[in-house]
Amino acid sequence: MKKNKTAEVFLVLLILAVMSVGIFILQNGMEKLQNVKQQSVYVPETRDLYNNYGLKNDQSLSKTKILETQDQVIYTDRIFNINQISEDQISYAADIMKALQEKSGKDAYIMPIPERAVFESGYENEKEKYNNFTEKLEASFTDPSVVLNPLSELEKHQSEYLYFRTKNSWTMRGAFYGAQVIFGELGYDKENLNAYREYVFGVFDGNLLLEASEKYTADEIKKDITDMERDPFYIYINGLNPNCEELTFENKEGQKQTLKRQMIQFNSSGNRAVIGTDYEHSIVEGRGKGQRKGNLLLIADTRGKMMISYLSEVFEKVYVSNIYEDADLIQNLDEILEKYNIEYIVWAQDVAETGNMSHMMALNPLLKEGGMSDVRTDP
Residue with more model confidence, 307 or 219 = 307
Residue 99 has pLDDT above 80, yes or no: yes
Compute the distance between CA of residue 203 and CA of residue 165 in angstroms, rounded to an integer. 11
Beta-strand pair 72-75/256-262: unpaired
What ranges do the domains of the chain cover?
Answer: 85-195+239-369
Cα→Cα distances 379→88, 129, 135, Å: 6, 17, 18
| Strand partners of residue 147 | 110
Q: Report how far Cα 79 is from the mean position of its chain's Cα atoms.
A: 19
Return the pLDDT at 202. Answer: 78
Q: Report how far Cα 155 is from the mean position of its chain's Cα atoms.
A: 18
How many alpha carbons lie under 13 Å from residue 233 in its C-beta half-sphere?
22
Confidence of residue 227 (pLDDT cuts 50, 70, 90): very high
SS3 201: strand
Least confident of 64-78, 89-103, 331-345, 360-374: 360-374
Residue with more model confidence, 39 or 266 = 266
Compute the distance between CA of residue 265 and CA of residue 263 in angstroms, rounded to an integer. 6
End-to-end Cα, the chain, rounded Å: 94
Question: What sign has the CA pseudo-torsion 276, 280, 285, 291?
Answer: positive
Compute the distance between CA of residue 112 and CA of residue 125 in angstroms, rounded to an integer. 17
Cα→Cα distances 284→49, 179, 324, Å: 31, 16, 18
pLDDT digits (tens, 9 = 90+) for 113-162: 999 999 999 999 999 999 999 999 999 999 999 999 999 999 999 999 99
User: Percent of the chain at pLDDT above 90?
Assistant: 64
Compute the distance between CA of residue 213 and CA of residue 227 in angstroms, rounded to an integer. 10
Compute the distance between CA of residue 277 and CA of residue 301 in angstroms, rounded to an integer. 9
